[in-house]
Amino acid sequence: MLKSTYGSLIIKKDTIIYHATDEEITYKPEKKLLYTIFHPSEWVGYDSEYIVRIQLKRDIEVLFFITGFRKHYILSNQEEKKSPIFLEKLMEENLDGWLASIENRSHVEVAIMNDQNIFEVISFEPLRKNWRNGNCLGGIPECKNWGTVYPISSRSLPVVLYLNEKYRRIIAEYIQYGLDSKYPFEYVFQVILENAQI
């Protein structure tokens, strides 16, 4: 059972998540999953020209598919999540998708079932990069400025994490690592955990 091994994450109704793309979005029922992010700056490709705002129609429960951390890097089983059998297992456990790292980097994605009863597209627009990554200006560390164009919904609609003890411990260590970091809240997963119910 995936849920008892890893845990799950509840993302609340009305949460806005984002899908980066190079083409106008149309509903494609043959696509089983829609890959989304909590903030466009977290998209690894950075070359997408458009952003789609997606609003959840109901609370969703996704598999917490993070296996560990190495400093700020978030680790997930990349091969397993690409398997067609994995999707079947998610459906057997009534999960709406999964939260995992993007290629074991510092960013997370939420893959949700491509079901119009779960979400609706509320806008499709050219991507406006109005955020600034954390860096050192004049010898003074500056935290990431997430900008105002793409709010991170978990700040007003906190996520709920149901984790077994092993993952509670590693999440606590990850939170502490972020707080002790030169640039706290540099990654969206750190922002999500700031007020998450665990």
The CA-atom distances, in angstroms, between 62 and each of 66, 67, 90, 176, 186 are 12, 15, 8, 24, 24
Three-class DSSP category at 105: coil
Can you say how many angstroms the Cα of residue 159 is from the centroid of all Cα atoms in its chain?
A: 11
How does DSSP assign 26-87, residue by residue?
---TT--EEEEBSSGGG-SS----EEEEEEESS-EEEEE---EEETTEEE--HHHHT-HHHH
Cα gap 68→55, rounded to integer Å: 29
Cα gap 81→78, rounded to integer Å: 6
pLDDT at 97: 94
Q: Do strands 60-64 and 97-101 pair parallel, antiparallel, or not at all (unpaired)? A: parallel
pLDDT at 2: 86
- Residues 117-131 pLDDT 10s: 999 999 998 888 777
Residues 6 or more apart from 176 whose CB is under 8 A from it? Answer: none
Cα gap 77→60, rounded to integer Å: 22
pLDDT at 56: 97
With a cut of 70, which residues of the chain have pLDDT below it? 24-29, 44-48, 78, 132-143
Domain boundaries in the chain?
A: 2-194
The H or E element spanning position 17 is strand 16-21
pLDDT at 46: 58
